[in-house]
Amino acid sequence: MKRRDFLKIASLGAAALMSPKMLFAQRKSEKRPNILFIMSDDHAAPAISAYGGFLADIAKTPNIDRLAKEGMRFDNCFCTNSICTPSRAVILTGKYSHKNGVLTLDDEFDGTQQTFPKLLQRAGYYTGVVGKWHLKTEPTGFNYYNVLPGQGLYFNPIMYESTMPWWNKEGTIWWEDLEAVEEGKGGGKQYKGYVTDIITDVALDFLKDRPKDKPFCLLYQHKAPHDMWEYDEKHAELFRDVEIPEPANLFDSHAHRGMAIKRCTQKIGRNHTLYEDETEHLSGRKRKKKQYQIYIKSYLRCVASIDDNIGHVLDYLDKTGLTKNTIVVYTSDQGFFIGEHGLFDKRFMYEESLRMPLLIRYPREVKAASVNDDIVVNADFAETFLDYAGLSVPGDMQGRSLRPLLKGRTPEDWRRSMYYRYWMHRAHFNIAAHFGVRTKRYKLIYYYGLPLDARGARERPTRPEWELFDLEKDPREMYNVYGKPEYSDIAEKLKAELVRLREEFEDEDEVALI
Ligand code: CA
User: What confidence category does residue 276 fall into, taking pLDDT thresholds of 50, 70 and 90?
Assistant: confident
pLDDT in tens, 87-116: 999 999 999 999 999 999 999 999 999 999
Domain extents for the chain? 34-157+193-254+268-416
> Is 165's pLDDT higher than 70?
yes
Model confidence at 325: pLDDT above 60: yes
pLDDT, residue 274, reads: 78
Phi, psi of 392 (to 5 degrees): -75, 150
- Quote the ligand 1 centre to 319 CA distance (angstroms): 32
Instruction: Look at 444 and 179; give whichever has higher pLDDT.
Output: 444
| Whole-number average pLDDT of the chain | 92
Ligand 1 centre from 283 Cα, in Å? 30
> How many angstroms is it from 32 CA to the middle of ligand 1?
30
Ligand 1 centroid, distance to 432 Cα (angstroms): 18
pLDDT at 109: 97
- Ligand 1 centre to CA of 267 (Å) is 18
**Coil/strand/helix, residue 437:** strand
Q: Which residue has the higher pLDDT, 452 or 22?
A: 452
CA 334 – ligand 1 centroid, Å: 6
| pTM, entire model | 0.93
Can you give the pLDDT at residue 180? Answer: 67
pLDDT score recorded for residue 275: 85
The answer to whether 314 and 63 are in contact (CB under 8 A) is yes
Q: Please tell me the class of the 34-157+193-254+268-416 domain.
A: alpha beta
Distance 275 CA to ligand 1 centre (A): 21
**Mean pLDDT over residues 377-382, rounded?**
98
Ligand 1 centroid, distance to 333 Cα (angstroms): 5
How many angstroms separate the alpha carbon of residue 152 from the centre of ligand 1?
A: 13
287, 275 Cβ separation under 8 angstroms: no
Ligand 1 centroid to Cα of residue 109, in Å, is 16
Kindly give the distance from the C-alpha atom of residue 295 to the centroid of ligand 1, in angstroms, as a whole number: 17
Q: How far is the CA of 153 from the centre of ligand 1 (A)?
A: 15
The string of pLDDT tens digits covering residues 192-209 is 999 999 999 999 999 999
Centre of ligand 1 to C-alpha 13, Å, is: 39
The amino acid at residue 485 is P
Beta strands, E only, 7-89: 34-40, 72-74, 77-78
- The Cβ of residue 180 has, within 10 Å, a number of other Cβ atoms equal to 14
Identify any residues that bridge with 225 across adjacent strands, giving them in sequence order.
Answer: none
The alpha carbon of 435 and the centre of ligand 1 are apart by a number of angstroms equal to 19
Measured CA to CA in angstroms, residue 145 lies from 87, 132, 138, 150 at distances of 19, 10, 9, 14
Question: Rounded to the nearest whole angstrom, what is the distance from the C-alpha of residue 298 to the centroid of ligand 1?
Answer: 16
User: CA angle, 202 as apex, 105 and 160 as ends, to 5°?
Assistant: 50
Higher pLDDT, 472 or 4: 472
Report CA(23)–ligand 1 centroid distance (Å): 41
Give residue 346 CA to ligand 1 midpoint distance, Å: 8
Q: How far is the CA of 158 from the centre of ligand 1 (A)?
A: 20
The model's confidence at residue 179, banded by pLDDT at 50, 70 and 90, is low
Long-range own/partner contacts, residues 233-241 (CB < 8 A, 24 or more apart): 233/194, 234/194, 234/305, 235/301, 235/302, 235/304, 235/305, 236/301, 238/297, 238/300, 238/301, 238/304, 239/58, 239/59, 239/297, 239/300, 239/301
As beta bridge partners, residue 355 has: 78
Mean pLDDT for 63-74 is 98
pLDDT at 273: 73
For 483-507, b/e burial (b = at least 16 CB within 10 A) is eeeebeebbeebbebbeebbeebeb
Distance from the CA of 417 to the center of ligand 1, in angstroms? 23
- The Å distance, Cα 151 to ligand 1 centre, comes to 10
- Residue 38 CA, ligand 1 centroid: distance in Å: 14
Asked if residue 6 has pLDDT above 80, the reply is no
pLDDT at residue 178 in the model = 59
pLDDT over 70, % of the chain: 91
Ligand 1 centroid – CA 331 distance (Å): 11
What separation in Å is there between the alpha carbon of 150 and the centre of ligand 1? Answer: 12
20-29, 59-68, 242-251: segment of lowest average pLDDT:
20-29
Report the separation in Å between the CA atom of 124 and the middle of ligand 1, taken as the mean of its atom positions.
30
pLDDT digits over 301-321, tens only?
Answer: 999 999 999 999 999 999 999
Tens of pLDDT along 16-26?
445 555 555 44
| pLDDT value of position 380 | 98
**C-alpha of residue 26 to centroid of ligand 1, in Å:** 40
Ligand 1 centre and the CA of 16: distance in Å?
Answer: 41
- First-to-last alpha carbon distance for the chain, in angstroms, is 31
Q: What is the DSSP string of 174-207?
A: GGG-HHHHHTT-SS-EE--SBHHHHHHHHHHHHH
Separation between Cα atoms, residue 17 and residue 15, nearest integer Å: 5
